[in-house]
Each structure stands twice: as C-alpha cells, then as structure tokens.
Amino acid sequence: MGDRDMVAQPPRADALPTGPISALRAEVQSEAIKAFVFAWETLLERAAGELPARKELHPRIIMPFMSSCWLYSRDMDGEFFCVLTGETVRNFWRAPTRGRYLRDIIPDGGHVAVQDRLSLAIDRPCMIHCINRCAGKQHVFAERIYAPLARDPDGADYVFGCSNYHVKRDQQAQAVEQKADTMQLFDCYSLRFIEKRVCAIP
C-alpha cells in the first residue's frame, strides 16, 4: 500500500451513505470536521469494533485536518493535559498549549465546563459535536468534535478532537451561528444520534 492510499480523503457528498451517520453529517459545518468524521470511520474500521488506540493516529490518516486537531489525556485526578495541538488551534489561543494543563490554558475556572464535556466523552463513552461562542471572543464561533480513544496499557485516558473557528464576518459563520450553543452526543461506535443539549461557553 502506497502513502497516498493511507491518506484519509473524505468522499464526495453525493457518495456519502445514508443511515445512522447521516444525522451527524447533517450537523457538521466545517470541512475539517467532516474530515475528522471520515477519519474516525477509518480508525473504527481498523480497530475492528473497538475504540481506536492512540498509536493508530498516523499522520497520513489525520493529515486532512491535522492543523485543527488536538489530543488531551486525563490524569488520575481528573485533570486534562494537552498532548498535541495543531497549528490552527495554537494560533487561535496565541500561546503554547501542548504540554500544559487545561486549567492553565483556560484560566479563572473557565476550563471546568470544557473538562466536564471531555470527561463525558470518555465516561459515557460518546462522540460530541458542539458549536459555541468562545469565552472572551464573542465574535468567534467554535465548531468542535471529539471522541475517546482506547485506554492505554498504563491506564491513561485520551480524548481526540478537532476544532474549527469562524469569525462572524465570514460567510461560513452565518450557518454556524444558527446552531450556536448546542451540543450533540453520538454513539462513538455507530455514530448514531443520542441526544442534544445546551452548550454554554467556552
């Protein structure tokens, strides 16, 4: 198998199958998020019904959304630690994120809501798709999607995700704004819709 065969390339819209995953695809707004969903399907197929392991996150699979992806681990105290962030995410925060705890990236208690959602993804487990305004940046809407990875042999839990940011003046932001402050849960194996919730900032 050549390198090009290993790159997860999303299929054309008219070639997408219908079924449980169609509900998720109907909600996704960003090309990077669409690429994440397609890559997740690829990872699930390779994992043969299990959650993908961290070691399966090969650059060739996540290449289409690599600049927008991120990876957090959860320690024994329930705190989240940033293992990886793409260039787009780093640029948005305008500060280093890799190698830092979530509480230090989003200070003054703003990390709590995010931490709760990441824990929900691990503990349920489920894939979460949400659109919300960014704390301190009300003109920016963030579309995020994330799901848990298989627990490492050393007991570490991981959440792998993708974030895309839309500024109000951008045409894409108009579609995103219509669905702002929502969080939808999907089964991380079948991608079947579970439930919809209100998603407060950040």
Q: Write down the pLDDT at residue 147.
A: 96
Nearest in space to 160 (alpha carbons), one of 104, 86, 93, 108: 86
pLDDT along the chain (202 residues), means of 10: 42 40 78 91 89 91 93 93 93 87 86 90 93 71 91 89 76 60 88 83 55
Digit-coded pLDDT (tens) for 76-94: 899 999 999 999 998 888 8
How far, in Å, are 2, 73, 108, 114, 144 from residue 77 at the CA level?
43, 11, 19, 16, 25
Q: Write down the pLDDT at residue 197.
A: 84
Rounded to two decimals, the pTM is 0.82
Dist. CA 37–CA 23, nearest whole Å? 12
**List of domains in the chain:** 20-53+61-129+143-165 (3.30.450)
- For the record, the structure tokens of 80 come out as 């989240």
Digit-coded pLDDT (tens) for 4-42: 344 444 433 333 333 456 778 778 878 899 999 999 999
